[in-house]
Amino acid sequence: MRLERAAIARLTCSACSTIGPMRGALILLAFAASAAACDRKQPREGIAGSSAAPNTPPASGANRCNLVPLPLRRPQPERLVAIGDVHGDLAATRSALKAAGAIDDSDNWIGGKLVVVQTGDVLDRGDDEQAILDLLFVLEGKAKAAGGELILLLGNHELMNAAGDFRYVTPRSRNAFGDRVAALKPGGEYAKKLAAYDVVTIVGDTVFAHAGPVGPFATQLEEVNMSSRCWLDGQGGSGYEPPIAMTSEDSPVWTRAYGMETADCDAAKAAMTAIGVKRIVVGHTVQEKINSVCDGAVWRIDVGLAKLYDGPIEVLEVYPTPRVIQGTR
């Protein structure tokens, strides 16, 4: 909870200048309402009270996991597009995919060899979580058949749900997935499906993560990916202790180093040097519009696509040349 409260405090000072008075106020109210859930004795976020440090080894159990690692690095495709947080809004998800040139009105993959990266946080804050995941799982296969790829990443809200933190679930979504607890707990039906995806991936000269690699995490990408996947798959060791991505507020799903009004460009430069990339693309922190900082090295693509935020439909074409593509609701 410490991270969300800190975010509220920072947004109080910067929301109006960063995302405009009206949307800033709406977002502040949304964060405050979410934070208030703690007082109703809802499950707390996994990072609260955590003593884990950024260079702490991944949770035990990852070394015994039988999942096959996914490729951390993929070659530069002909065209590359990134989509930020969709938070349970199926209509906005479809609009974003259409803006990217990935699908048509019938959910057919029309992108050919297009590669799309969705940077996590499909879950929570909206009513259509299961429908979005099911759609993305189907599109993943359609993209592959056409020579393209849909790359899904894990956000903090996917890991929070697996940890039993449902404070951000809407009333209409409480019964999603049949038995939500059983489906999303480590080893559950949908948790195992989510275990097919990484926290961080590299495509060409760009690294993608929900919040971004910072500090020692930039040299632990494989470990972060595998510990998270193995935990979701139910292979996380005794007691299903959450992985480092969940427990450290500096992890690639939690850090605010790149998302706030003043980004940590020194950290970005160090991370890009360690990883060997030219660019970082992140979601996680709501922006008024897709924008770049650090001389174009860091792109922030969470524009509040979900109904809760009522942000614009925007996606980022990363390659061949970074540009913002606007869609319609």
Distance CA 212, CA 302 (A): 12
Whether the pLDDT of residue 47 is over 90: the answer is no
Kindly report, residue by residue over 91-102, the tens digit of the pLDDT.
999 999 999 999
pLDDT of residue 236: 72
Give the global pTM: 0.84
The arithmetic mean of pLDDT across residues 31-38, rounded, is 37
Least Cα distance to 91 among 107, 111, 108, 109 occurs for 107
CA pseudo-torsion sign 321, 141, 126, 282: negative
Tell me the mean pLDDT in the region 56-69.
Answer: 67
Query: In this model, does residue 37 exceed pLDDT 80?
Result: no
Domain ranges of the chain: 53-326
Q: What is the pLDDT of residue 222?
A: 97
- Residue 126: its pLDDT value, please? 97
Percent of the chain scored above 90 by pLDDT?
78
Look at the domain 53-326 and name its fold: Purple Acid Phosphatase; chain A, domain 2 (3.60.21)
Determine what percent of the chain is predicted with pLDDT higher than 70.
Answer: 80
Please compute the mean of the pLDDT values over residues 244-265 and round it to a whole number: 97
More confident residue, 199 or 23: 199
- The letter for the amino acid at 31 is F
Angle at 69 between CA 45 and CA 55, to 5 degrees: 50
Query: pLDDT confidence of 7, banded at 50, 70, 90?
Result: very low
More confident residue, 161 or 42: 161
Give 260: exposed, middle or buried? Use CB within 10 Å, 0-12, 13-18, 19+. middle
CB atoms within 10 A of CB 10: 17
pLDDT band at 32 (very low <50, low <70, confident <90, very high): very low
CB atoms within 10 A of CB 57: 12
Q: How confident is the model at residue 31 (pLDDT cuts 50, 70, 90)?
A: very low
Mean pLDDT confidence for 202-207: 98
Rounded average pLDDT over 215-221: 97
**Considering the chain, what is the average pLDDT of its residues?**
85
- The whole-number pLDDT of residue 62 equals 56
